[in-house]
Amino acid sequence: MKISDAMVGQVEQVEQETRRFYDGGLPAVDGQPEVPPNPGEDPKIVLERLSVQGHEQFALIRRIAYRDRHLGELLVPADTVSFRTDLTSVPMLFTWLVPKTGAHLPAALLHDGLCFADDEPPTYTSTDGHMVHRVEADRIFRDAMADTGTGVVRRWLVWSAVATATLLKGEQVPWSTATTWRHRIVIGASLFVVVVLGVLATLDLFDIGGSPELPWMGDRPWWLELVGGLAGAIVVPLVLGLAWGRFRMAGWVMGIGLAVLLHVTVGLLGVTALYQVTEKSVDRQPLIVAGVAVLVSILATGTVIALWVL
């Protein structure tokens, strides 16, 4: 199947149509007859929380039905007994930007059902008999988020993230292994360049000795360097994203997002690491941690008093 620009997501925009989601009923299981989908009923998201090897997962007790603009009716999951989901698959570091649940949850569950490993049976049912490859599943995800009322910026960020994952994994895709490796090299190289230039721009902004000057920043007043750095954080990813070919929209969004949020991400990594170290230390050496906390509190109090007096 040829992947058109509309399928990849370069040009096609959709209007919100909430009734595309509806109750998917139940599949025939354990001798019980099927409960067919009901387009007249709202979707019923019934989840059972499970712990699988210490990780939180959920079983979807009732199917979700979605009528796609190109492929017709899709039902997820195909099997309510074995299907598992972690809701929206977002690293903990970025849940402030894309939470695990919310308006986009039905679309996230639908996408989970449309994606499966090459050695697994399909975890969805297409009433019209369509086979959904991963690129098409990502496009359906983006359209479905629009139908749930998810904001434009958030759904394009999420789509770009899952599309990048699709290019890197190379599973359930209509291209060769060689093409997958080409995608991996292009993605790795472009994101590496964005990170390196982001670090150099930061060093240039704070005039740290020995750091090379970037041409769009140079030796200028700090506010001009800041403006130049922000401009570079947009222009450089736009140029690099062209190497992503028909997936250039994902390249642009991922590159600009990484460049703009680089410092926020580093800060969050630091805070997260501090929390993890503190949590583990409290479990192992509670008295030592309590003593350190008291000492830090005394030093902080002394610092505030000294600065106030002086």
pLDDT over 50 (residue 137):
yes
pLDDT over 50 (residue 232):
yes
Backbone angles phi, psi at 68, to 5 degrees: -75, 150
pLDDT over 60 (residue 23):
yes
**12 falls in which pLDDT band (50, 70, 90)?**
low
DSSP letters, 53-109, are TTEEEEEE-S-EEEEETTTEEEEE-S-TTT--B-SS---GGGTTTS-SSSTTHHHHH
pLDDT over 70 (residue 1):
no
What does each C-alpha distance from 9 to 106, 138, 159 come to in angstroms? 20, 9, 9
Tracing tokens 């939470």 back to the chain, one arrives at 99
pLDDT (tens digit per residue) in 31-56: 789 999 999 999 999 999 998 788 88
Range of 82-91, 125-134, 212-221, 277-286 with top mean pLDDT: 125-134
Q: Average model confidence (pLDDT) for the chain?
A: 90
pLDDT over 90 (residue 108):
yes
The reported pLDDT for the residue numbered 22 is 97
Distance CA 23, CA 43 (A): 4
Distance CA 3, CA 15 (A): 22
* Percent of the chain at pLDDT exceeding 90: 64
pLDDT over 80 (residue 263):
yes
Distance CA 138, CA 204 (A): 38
Give the residue from 187, 201, 189 showing the smallest Cα distance to 259: 201
pLDDT over 90 (residue 309):
no
